[in-house]
Chains A and B, each alone.
Chain A
Amino acid sequence: LAAPPSPPGQDPHGWRVPVDCVRANELCAAEPSCSSRYRTLRQCLAGRDRNTMLANKECQAALEVLQESPLYDCRCKRGMKKELQCLQIYWSIHLGLTEGEEFYEASPYEPVTSRLSDIFRLASMFSGMDPAANSKSNHCLDAAKACNLNDNCKRLRSGYISTCSRELSASEPCSRRKCHKALRQFFDRVPSEYTYRLLFCSCKDQACAERRRQTIVPSCSYEDKEKPNCLDLRSACRTDHLCRSRLADFHTNCQASFQTLTSCPGDNYQACLGSYTGLIGFNMTPNYIDASITSITISPWCSCKGSGNMEEECEKFLRDFTENPCLRNAIQAFGNGTDVNLSP
């Protein structure tokens, strides 16, 4: 049997090199057979579940053709140009195929591979600190100082802080929508060496931990009058392509694993911290629930009250934030600078 001619975008090992979905869409549009199948598939997927769709011959054929096209494995990059457009293309195919009711969805983002360089960056950040001063210093305060010494970080940080603390009226403490947008800008555009230090600084006293908790101005961006049910919050998040993608990314990179030393998929702390940060500025915004220094507990603003028969599922969802060893290890490792000791 002759090997099929390799489609564009394959590396010599037969593994597809991921193309971003905007580019893949252009490649597909340039090819009449691909673009017509893509249109067919999108119609097949609209409003139908996977199995009904597969029962239809025409849909099945479209799916088979598209499996060979670059559209099928396309990915998006965090903070890329046209990120939203890219994600729309991604979900237009995947929404119907992944059932939309899966507990964990695969991330539409490219895997974070630039681990080593990041570890060196972390290492350099903590080196040069005088160990004697280190024991007394407030890392969260240092992080704020470091941010203020960088023009970009300072500008975007004061941007989101003033937006998030602007009181509109007695009944409306702030514009949550604008606050979230400003937070997303900050975390998308400021290098992670600044943002991670603010978010994941390690603390030895309560004032420091309170500063850490206050990083995202939780009174506006996080807390609300009532705590919704987590499953309700998740379904609201999944109606928005960006939020859905960030949540899927969090589940992909922070899902606790039994098979690794650190409990993180591929022992990749950087990826987990990155997808945690990516959730800030959406309705699924996570934060520290208190200023405790002994135990770090993270949660989105929701509870499992009123889950009915779905309580188990709700608690499982919530535990991925509140009792997630991968996330906790990643935050602690970053704060202590211990990621450096991990063998690559």
Chain B
Amino acid sequence: LSAFGLYFPRKEYLENVYIDEPAGTPLLRIHTLRDSHGEVAHFHLCQNLIISRARSHENNWFQIREKTGLLYLSKSLDREDFNMLSVGNWMPLSKVMLYVFLSSHPFQEKECDSATRTTVFLSLMNATAPACSSLTARQLCFTEMDLSFHIKENKPPGTFHQLQLPSIHHLCQNLSISYKLLAAEGMPFRYNENTTGVSVTQRLDREERERYELIAKCTVREGFREMQVEVPFLVNVLDEDDSPPFLPNGTDTADAVVEFNRKEGTVLATLAVYDADTTPIYPLESSRKKYTGTIITDDPWMSETFRVEHIFDEIHFSPNGSQVRGTRHEYKLVLNKSISVTEHRSFLLDVLVNDTEFHGPERSVMLHFNVSILPVSIQFPNMTYQFTVNRNAERFAQIGKICIENCMKFRGVNITYKLLSPNTSCYAVSILQGREDKYGSLYVNDSSVLRRPECKEIQYTIQATDKQSRKHTKTLLTVFLEGTLLKKEEDCPDSCAVSKHHGECEECGGLGVLTGRCQWRQGSGKGITTNYSTCTPSIKTCPDGICDVIESKDPAVCPQDCTSGNIIGGHGKGIGNLGIKSGHGICYCFPRQNCYCEKDDIKEPLCDDVCKTVI
């Protein structure tokens, strides 16, 4: 906002200048609007003409009438001047630019830095002024620039444009050019036929209506000939902060419960504040500063633990049918740090929202967040874990998951799972946990133990510990070994993934198998699909598109989820370029080498007559 209230109703003006037009030729008129009654506008030009491509030249040709804002030629622009001003102008059309400054008092010398200015573009036409008869009605009536204006709301009425073009009026005095402004009934604009001036007749309110669309109509009469041109005439109403914040539906309170999700950055609750004024997104920071939200508290714990985040977006209000823009501000109560599982409190947190640029008593509203921080217990569900493991399971076979109560709901709580060593020698299983995993995965660590006849039932104690509070809990785990040992097939590869056919897959075992045999997944066989055919230690875990912590221990377990090598054939890669997300036909892999996805056109040979006789 400038210190004084005079302002230009448009940012740019445009006019043509021809070679050898005489000194005194009027070019265009610039208008201003006032902030308060009694202000008088003084116009002033800066000493330099700006030629495009950053050249400038002293202004020897153009002047402006300080009182009326009429820009005119003070010296004729001859061919030599034209050539000089055109140098460095690569555009097909030479343009010079000058700034018109505005002040509410007479200008002192060299005041060239006032904030209130508008830009005048003068197109230098490489010709002498045209004959009026050669100009079209459009050229006689309007310049190329859109008739688009902005008027600030809540300001006194005044004249802001003159439809008649001073240069044309001067040049074509024999023509009769008249204008009309077509406006719907009740629009706050008036056209003065004598001056061709357009004025706004009353203070405007943007919250009532922010855009007026009128039509400027021009009639050119030349003898018996009459031509008419119509162009849109637009007025945008500029906003100022004249509306206080208010609460939609009167809601000023929200519940904020902290339970399983205790992580820094968690949004606990959101309250909205509306404002009929607009709030620009750009520049963002300054708008945030204009509309503040502050936690009201003396308690250092509260100010450390919570913060308020402010976002806002544009919404529409519809007073009396027309749509105007307004703002919805949202204040989010956010955890500023992770909260310990032992914390237990309830309190009311007040946030003061302040519309700092609104001048009035109702500039602020108070928001209330009803905060409850509940403790969460670290305990296992009321039971002991029992798993059965087949004696033929191989290393890295996934037995099951260990999870404390509500473990999957936790965020910001770091639980680690540990197996306490059993006091027998049958130590066959281990537990592993991914970096962000909320559960522990139990897997076979030593398959030779499973084969030992003396190991039948193994008891473990599992301990879960919360990293922050060091709180821990324990439960019992029993692993039963079952099944009879199968004879190992010879010539079987380490990895199930190597097998290419249904038959060979299920004849062999491999790392990660649960029952001594690999499992075949029969895909849908349609194009490149996530449901491709493949051989895997366990259909439940592989391939499921996730390279889990156990699969990543050894590349032979499930290369379908974990490979980072080449995949040959039609395929899509998984997240982070790991694994085969989708494949064509059958996908098989050589661990630490390539994977292949291909359609298997050769059917497995059926048992023919020779075969039958052999059997």
Give residues in A with beta carbon < 8 Å to B. Answer: 14-16, 49, 51-52, 54-55, 63, 67, 72-73, 93-94, 97-98, 106, 111, 166-170, 228-229, 231-232, 235, 252, 258-259, 265-266, 305-313
Which residues of chain B (65-124) have a CB below 8 Å from chain A?
Answer: 83, 87-88, 90-93, 110, 112-113
In the A-B complex, the 8 residue pairs with the smallest Cβ-Cβ separation, listed nearest first, are A308-B280, A306-B281, A97-B54, A232-B282, A229-B281, A308-B278, A51-B112, A231-B282
Q: How far is the CB of A272 from chain B (nearest CB, A)?
A: 13
Give the contacting residue for A266; candidates B88, B92, B282, B313; CB below 8 A. B92
A106 & B52 in contact (Cβ 8 Å cutoff): yes
Which residues of chain B (234-286) have a CB below 8 Å from chain A?
Answer: 236, 238-239, 278-284
Q: How far is the CB of B104 from chain A (nearest CB, A)?
A: 19
Known: A97-B54, A259-B93. A312 touches B148 (CB 8 A): yes
Cβ of A228: which chain B residues have Cβ within 8 Å of it? 281
Q: How far apart are the CA atoms of A16 and B87 in the complex, in Å?
A: 8
Q: How far is the CB of B444 from chain A (nearest CB, A)?
A: 29
B 136-157 binary contact with A (CB < 8 Å = 1; else 0) = 0000000010001010000000
Q: Does B575 contact A (CB under 8 A)?
A: yes
Q: Does B53 contact A (CB under 8 A)?
A: yes
Q: Could you jot down 7 A-B contacts, CB within 8 Å?
A: A55-B113, A67-B55, A94-B54, A229-B282, A232-B281, A232-B283, A310-B280
Q: Does B46 contact A (CB under 8 A)?
A: yes
Cβ of A309: which chain B residues have Cβ within 8 Å of it? 150, 238-239, 278, 280
Give residues in B with beta carbon < 8 Å to A. Answer: 11, 46, 48, 52-56, 83, 87-88, 90-93, 110, 112-113, 144, 148, 150, 236, 238-239, 278-284, 312-314, 325, 573-577
Interface of A is mostly: helix
Instruction: Contacts A51-B113, A72-B54, A229-B282 known; list 18 others, CB within 8 Å.
Output: A51-B46, A55-B110, A72-B55, A106-B53, A106-B91, A167-B573, A167-B574, A228-B281, A229-B280, A235-B282, A258-B144, A259-B93, A266-B92, A306-B279, A307-B278, A308-B239, A308-B281, A311-B236
Give the contacting residue for A73; candidates B53, B238, B283, B577; CB below 8 A. B53
Q: How far is the CB of A66 from chain B (nearest CB, A)?
A: 10
Cβ of A167: which chain B residues have Cβ within 8 Å of it? 573-577
Cβ of A63: which chain B residues have Cβ within 8 Å of it? 56
B88 & A72 in contact (Cβ 8 Å cutoff): yes
Cβ of B314: which chain A residues have Cβ within 8 Å of it? 305-306
Give the contacting residue for B54; candidates A49, A54, A98, A312; CB below 8 A. A98
Q: How far apart are the CA atoms of A94 and B50 in the complex, in Å?
A: 12
Cβ of B150: which chain A residues have Cβ within 8 Å of it? 309, 312
A94, A229, A313: residue with the most chain B Cβ atoms closer than 10 Å: A229
B576 & A168 in contact (Cβ 8 Å cutoff): yes
B88 & A73 in contact (Cβ 8 Å cutoff): yes
- CB nearest to A232 among chain B residues: B282
Q: How far is the CB of B12 from chain A (nearest CB, A)?
A: 8
Cβ of A313: which chain B residues have Cβ within 8 Å of it? 11
Cβ of B110: which chain A residues have Cβ within 8 Å of it? 55
Cβ of A311: which chain B residues have Cβ within 8 Å of it? 236, 325
Cβ of B90: which chain A residues have Cβ within 8 Å of it? 106, 111
A265 & B92 in contact (Cβ 8 Å cutoff): yes
